[in-house]
Amino acid sequence: MKPGISSWKVFYYDYQISDSGFVLGDIGENIIQQHKRTANLGTIAPNIFVGTLSIPLLDRQTSEELCKIELEIQSVKSGYRSDYRDMLEFITEKCTDLLLQANSPVSQHFEIDYTKDSQTLYQKFAFIKSVIGTDEFTEAVHRIVTAPVTKWKETTEEKDIRNARRLSNANMKEILKGGRRTKLPKTHYLRSYAIDTLPERITTNRKTDSVDTPENRFIKHALENFLKFCTDINSKAKEFGHKKMETESGLMIRELESHLHHTVFKDILRPTTLKLNSPILQRKEGYREVLRVWLMFDLAAKLIWKGGDDIYSGGKKDIATLYEYWLFFKLLDLFQSIFEIESKDISDLINETPDGLNLQIKQGKFTALRGVYDSGSRKLNVRFNYNRSFSGKKIYPESGSWTTTLRPDYTLSFWPYGISEAEAEKQELIVHVHFDAKYKIANLTDFLEQNSDNDLDEEKAENRKGIYKNADLLKMHAYKDAIRRTGGAYILYPGDKSINQKGFHEIIPGLGAFPVKPSKTDSGIGELKAFILEIVEHFINRASQREKIAFRTFDIYKNPPDFDNMVKELLPEPYNNNRDLIPDDTYVLVGYYNSQEQYEWIKRTRLYNFRMGSGAGSLVLDKETVSSKYLLLHTAGNKGSGDLWRIISKGPKVYSKDDLLKKGYPDPSQDNYLVIQIELVADKEFQSVNWDFRRLRNYSSGRASAFPFTSSLTELMRNIVR
């Protein structure tokens, strides 16, 4: 075999069978890739699988299986074996924790059905092995046999009467009536008590240290139960021809037998009762670990997991998929510590089936856990999804993807309490945060690389060959940009360094990666928890930029665009002072002047006044009026006007009659006026342009034509006089 290496640093191997009459059989997952023309040549591509590959050797003519070739595939990551064992142990522990809940569907009458297929039995054995095949379990048994709990035990023995020290009432009877007696000398003082003889030996009680305690009996009982299970599995493995299960169960049998052959267990009897409430079993080192394993053992032996087929079917171990499942439970633990996850949702993860208790977690299947977070000032709905699909077929404003259907590994969604998820999607009130599990990423340089121009040229060349070096990074961008209402997309990988790239000024939107590694001491989940808490604090802030963007998005897109209301006329470009020049949101006040004298006053003072009060012609201070940016002036007899001014005051001010007289206003008739400050428009795009203000929607004819009104710049530009 000749090894090679792919762009993802996954090794593959070229092979050749010397006799062309033989070929390698298919084992799925495109692992065996035969040459198109020469069948005895090909490539073995284990990809992300590790463990034993059992490859059938076939007769090329008859396709009859002649034998199996077993290859051990090892990961380049030195710690992958311990990672695999730790992750499977953690999943087993979480499953048994679910089963031990008061509302879980535990049925204690389940028995192990050894008539099931070998794959189901191997699943059960894999769970059991993850419980009793650990270093912690071995160390626990070692602690027990080196320092077992003991008790004082009285033993009786016959002793030379001359060596007797303390005599009991029973001993006094033996002195008077015991057999094998010896005469006393005539001068012995006991003869004065009419005792002529004494027994040669006398029975005495002696206290000894005994290991035959209820706690040690339980330990022996548990080890014997484990041994029986492994022995039964081993015999069934031989019957089914499952070599891997036979080998692994044989190793477990030898290990358990070595424990039971310790001299401590020779003096320990079988238990009559199991005192599981014993303080020693629950608290003493070694004993408490074995008790925990024993409690898990019965339940783990009843578990099946359809999703487990992805991990250890056919002897191969898909450690990357196992990492994805392991992360599900780690995230579930994390989110339970922050949010109030409904227990019903959690208990539904395991259902009773004819095969046993089935863990309802499988790659590609949607799992949702719901909860509520109450900060005191705001309540948020929370939903944790596993493998949720965001369809590319739904149209806005429904949830989904703008393009093709996408399915992140994990999605955490937030929206205000009191509104349905569907309605929150339509009103732009929901935010999704996505996470993807990437076991194959060893360090952040595999995820984010500072590429030079030469590197980018090389990458483009690889892209043309169908090789995408930054596929994981591109997928995070796809989640963030394609899935509607996504706040961020992040990679979870078993490394050491984190990265969090903020999109603008706030924590989301963003992209990044967080290290979460299979470790019993330091998984790194704390950094991810701090990040989630930051996100929660961000959602509690009602004045965040994200809240403003969400509302603007909803406000803009709530109605479809009016294609009859397009503006193609020449307008100032929206930069510098005109940065906010959005025609639909830019309003123009249309005002009237009575005389040329008043108009000269307007030009001289750069002021324009409106009537105020409840009378006809008074200015209505609505949103459009107050936020108007321009003033278009006209007078009696005008059919159009090009007299456009820019409003530069922050809002209208109240001027009294005397104030206006001091400014030289000609003959004010009202006691008070609203006055705005203006300047001539300097934008060249508005020069020499006339607008037919009479065709504007809010214009009134007759005497009311002098009344002020507002119009959008869009409407005004559509009424240019040609």
Residue 370: pLDDT over 60: yes
Distance of alpha carbon 124 from alpha carbon 109, whole angstroms? 17
Residues with Cβ within 8 Å of residue 242, at least 6 apart in sequence = 118, 121, 122
Out of 341-345, 414-418, 601-605, which region has the weakest mean confidence (pLDDT)?
341-345
**DSSP per-residue string spanning 207-230:** EEEE---HHHHHHHHHHHHHHHHH
Mean pLDDT computed over 28-42: 84
For residue 625, pLDDT beyond 70: yes
Whether 167 shows a pLDDT value over 90: the answer reads no
Closest CA to 522 of 11, 84, 86: 86
Reported as a pLDDT band with limits 50, 70 and 90, residue 342 is low
Please compute the mean of the pLDDT values over residues 459-472 and round it to a whole number. Answer: 59
For the chain, what is the largest distance between any 2 Cα atoms, rounded to a whole number of angstroms? 163
CA–CA distance, 705 with 422 (Å, rounded to integer): 48
Residue 657 CA to residue 598 CA, distance in Å, equals 15
Give the chain's mean pLDDT.
82
User: What pLDDT is stored for residue 6 in this prediction?
Assistant: 36
Per-residue pLDDT, 323: 85
Which of 216-220, 310-314, 513-517 is the least confident region? 310-314
Q: Is the pLDDT of residue 698 over 60?
A: yes
- Please write the tens of the pLDDT for every residue from 660-693: 999 999 989 889 999 999 999 999 999 999 999 9
**Which among 496, 386, 484 has a CA at the least distance from the CA of 435?**
386
CATH number given to 565-717: 3.10.590
Residue 348: its pLDDT value, please? Answer: 62
Angle CA 380–383–387, to nearest 5? 155
Q: Is the separation of the CB atoms in 602 and 663 below 8 Å?
A: no
Local confidence band at 466 (pLDDT 50, 70, 90 cut-offs): low
Q: Is the model's pLDDT at 4 over the cut of 60?
A: no
Alpha helix stretches (DSSP H) within 147-278: 169-177, 214-240, 243-260, 263-266
Is the per-residue pLDDT at 16 higher than 70? yes
Range with the largest mean pLDDT of 96-110, 236-250, 638-652: 638-652
What pLDDT, in 10s, does the model give residues 79-102?
A: 666 777 677 777 777 766 665 553
Q: Give the model's pLDDT for residue 315.
A: 47
Which of the 8 DSSP states describes residue 402?
S
Residue 182's pLDDT band (boundaries 50, 70, 90)?
A: confident
What tens digit of pLDDT does each residue of 275-308 get? 777 888 888 999 988 888 887 776 555 555 454 4
Where does the pLDDT of residue 265 fall: very low under 50, low under 70, confident under 90, or very high at 90 and above?
very high
Q: What sign for the dihedral angle of Cα 374, 375, 381, 383?
A: negative
Sorting pLDDT into bands at 50, 70 and 90, what band is 110? very low
Q: Mean pLDDT across the stretch 350-377?
A: 68
* Whether pTM exceeds 0.75: no
pLDDT tops 60 at residue 5: no
Q: Which two tokens stand for residue 189?
A: 């003082």
66 or 646, greater pLDDT: 646
Q: Quick one: what percent of the chain has pLDDT higher than 70?
A: 81
User: Has residue 106 got a pLDDT over 80?
Assistant: no
Mean pLDDT of 611-624: 86
Burial class of residue 720 (count of CB atoms within 10 Å of its CB; 0-12, 13-18, 19+): middle
Lowest mean pLDDT among 350-359, 567-576, 696-705: 350-359
Query: What DSSP element (H or E) covers 501?
Result: strand 499-502
Top-confidence range, 36-40, 83-87, 272-276: 36-40
Residue 441 Rama label (left phi>0; alpha psi -120 to 50; beta): beta
Predicted confidence at residue 126, as pLDDT, reads 75
In this structure, the strands spanning 49-59 and 22-24 are: antiparallel
Q: Which of 172, 294, 303, 286 is nearest to 221 (CA)?
A: 294
Give the pLDDT confidence score for residue 442 in this predicted structure: 60
